[in-house]
Chains A and B, each alone.
Chain A
Amino acid sequence: MRQPQTTATHAPGVRIDLIAKRSALLVALVGIWWLLSLRYPHYVLPGPLRVWDALSLIIDNGDLWRNLTVTLKRVCIGFGLAAVVSVPLGIMLGAIRPLGEFFEPVLPVLNTVSSAIWAIFGIIWFSISEASIIFVVFMTAMPLIITNVWQGTRAVNADFIELAHTLRMPGWKVMTKIYLPTVMPYFFSGARLAFGFGWRVSLVAETIGASSGIGYRLRQAADLIQTDQVFAWTLTMVAMMVALESGVLKPLENHLFRWKKEAETP
């Protein structure tokens, strides 16, 4: 009898090696940035120290935290709404064949509409408000998640459906107990894409349709030629995306798909 195995972790030596490599890369990039900044005026390319000062300033006066939370809130609401709507829709479109066939042309059309157009519609319909930014994120994320979940339904094992059938399981339970777990990995890859897009799109939307948020502050800094502040905001965003990826998404994925890991690595 085979006993359940524990997941193999990286040997400590490999880990230290990786950390060393990453640090070297970071030092090299900052070094190149610093060298380049010596050759240009600070309003074209500010050096690392100047950007650090700008960053300290917006941290100290509360600007960073205030605008970061405003933008993050908008993205999360838009993304959350999109996920809540798209997962059941995607599953139903995949599970109920006539429904899927009927609506098939809609998704490519939605996917081709540029986010900038949604931003303009957002302003027309909701004027400059929270709703317009949320709308843009929603409209960008929704088709992406639906497409991925829909595609995921093709991976549903017909044998499992037949099993549910022998148990006389009602249709909605087949969706939640067989379709939903099967499409979860597809939902995740779609959601990751959608969150990234939603984030970028919300910044663009904020530059034209908001009076707060990172996008708004970015445009303000650009208008006042505070290039060091533009850099500071950009760094903030990159740091936040990295934190979300390694602090929320990856651990969540590892937990949800722990049944998969070992099954796929022989």
Chain B
Amino acid sequence: MSVNIAAPRSQRLDPKYVRGPKSRGNFEMLAWLFMRLSGVVLVVLIFGHLFANLMTGTGINALSFGFVAGKWANPVWQFWDLALLWLSMLHGTNGVRTIINDYAEKHATRAWLKGILYVATIFIVVLGSLVIFTFDPCVAGSDLAQCR
């Protein structure tokens, strides 16, 4: 009487109905979760960054090499800016990756655009991290008191 019908996705599908290559595991879910978690942290980090640099004292008029040196003399701001760099770059890169996946229809175009994106991201993150870790208040052109 009864007929056994295999449940969908029971691995007994005709191969021609199997979409795409192998599953990428949880990557897309983790990327989705990362956007939410990093987003909340970035709101705090960026609002703090904008407030400290543009809203206090004489705001943008105070920005200079000496201002940066003063901030990075404090490890809290070093860590703040490092976290800002990493989280914002990863958040932004994942956002642009999503946009490329949505709009670039040809496989080769998608691969190229994402390749360029990842190279740019690695370059910017490595460069920014090196600048924070190797900052020298007495670099060429510095007129800070302790360098004279």
Do A and B belong to a common assembly? no
Which A residues form the contact surface with B (CB < 8 A)? none
